[in-house]
Amino acid sequence: MSLAGLRVALLAPIAWPTPPAGYGPWEQVAYDIAEGLTERGLAVTLFATGNSRTHAALDSVVPVGINEDPALDGDVYGALHIAKLFSRAGDFDLIHNSFDWKPLTYALATTAPPLVTTIHGFSSPQILAAYYAAASRSFFCSISNADRDPGLDYLATTYNGIDPAAFTYVDRPGDYLVFLGRFHPEKGTHLAIDIAKRAGVRLKIAAIPQDVEYFRTQVEPHVDGDRVQFLGPVEREARDALLGGALALVHMTTRPERFGLTMIEAMACGTPVLGARMGSIPEIVVDGETGLLCDDVEDAVRNVPRLRDLSRRACRTRVETTFSRERMIDAYLDAYARALAAGTPPAPTASALAARDRDYWDRPQAFTDRREKPRTLRSGNPFARRS
């Protein structure tokens, strides 16, 4: 289908510029969406940091990424960033929100064109209250089939995609495992270390510090510069070489992964994934073909010698056919067309309403770091549906 000329406002996160120089998966995806839609002839306005780069029109409030300048208050500039887009809502045929839950509350407050929200994950169970409240105002896209909240109805799964041309395909398997991302228990760096040591294979770690305490106690003590190497965060070109030269990417998450951009980046380089059989990973990795799914550390250690036998070409092909930027753009164009045809989101289904009334903590995919039981907005939504 063609949506050429459609005026789309795309709201990117502002933790980093779009695209980011190094870490910044959400900003990277927002960049690729803006570029891809623009190439397809849509009239895209990207709302991102002032130092962003795009072929779309750029509008911004915050000069640089919040994480680039400690003096910037993320709450204040986040709110102004969102408000800037909604203050121009009349200029657009569709708004695509790729900046978490807060924009939903502005959509509740305004009369805006159809809104499509990509849910990159639920940072805490409490934020479900915002999604439930806004269910009549926004269409939702999940980034994997696994990462769906049973209390929401979804328009589509729109897998993240990358430009395969931005990654160098390497035909020969390397001799080390690689861990890429950020240091947080849920990303399982400690498991990657354990697996590499027990399998007798070198591990290279490139990540940004998020949970510093975790890094200090669970990662740093194992770094010896040889068997376990810590490279710091790596930027674009170094990342490409690091991924391409690896035997496999280790992605042993401890809670269900939502998507996992690094997995498709690795596969684009021909590098398979040694991953947990959990969350989105079984959707992204074809077990025994583009990677090996593992039930636990034992299983992973046993699988390491088999990684060499996987077809690196199959990994690359998997990205080209399913996780490329163009497939992502196709998925969004389809989602946009359906949102425009519907106008407003359908009323929640009975099963969604029932799920909202069930206790979040009874659900199968709970968060590992449980704290307080949240109150959430149940079926009795105080926001009346707009006619």
CA distance linking residue 238 with residue 269, whole number of Å: 13
Asked if 331 is part of the footprint of a second copy (rule: CB under 8 A), the reply reads no
The smaller minimum CB distance to a second copy, of residues 343 and 380, is found at: 380
The smaller minimum CB distance to a second copy, of residues 15 and 333, is found at: 15
**Chain residues 60-119 in contact with a second copy, contact rule CB under 8 A:** 60-61, 63, 69-73, 76-77, 79-80, 82-87, 89, 101-102, 105-106, 108-110
Q: Is 256 left (phi over 0), alpha (psi -120 to 50) or beta?
A: beta
Q: C-alpha angle 116/66/205, rounded to 5°?
A: 90
Nearest distance from C-beta of residue 117 to a second copy, angstroms = 14
CB–CB of 247/146 below 8 Å?
no
**Chain residues 367-386 in contact with a second copy, contact rule CB under 8 A:** 372-375, 377, 382-383, 386
Tokens 């328009």: give the residue.
155
What residues does 209 pair with on adjacent strands? 183
The smaller minimum CB distance to a second copy, of residues 82 and 180, is found at: 82
Count of residues touching a second copy (by CB under 8 A): 40
Burial of 74 by CB count in 10 Å (0-12 exposed, 13-18 middle, 19+ buried)?
Answer: middle
The sign of the CA dihedral 251, 27, 265, 243 is: negative
Q: Which of 129, 297, 314, 340 lies at the binding interface for a second copy (CB under 8 A)? A: 129
- Mark residues 26-65: x for contact with a second copy by CB under 8 A, - for none: ----------------------------------xx-x--
Asked if 361 is part of the footprint of a second copy (rule: CB under 8 A), the reply reads no
CA distance linking residue 34 with residue 231, whole number of Å: 31
Phi, psi of 183 (to 5 degrees): -85, 110
Q: Which amino acid is at 6?
A: L
Asked if 140 is part of the footprint of a second copy (rule: CB under 8 A), the reply reads no
The smaller minimum CB distance to a second copy, of residues 65 and 275, is found at: 65
E strands within 81-147? 94-97, 115-119, 138-142
The smaller minimum CB distance to a second copy, of residues 237 and 372, is found at: 372
Binding site for a second copy (CB under 8 A): 60-61, 63, 69-73, 76-77, 79-80, 82-87, 89, 101-102, 105-106, 108-110, 124, 126-127, 129-130, 133, 372-375, 377, 382-383, 386
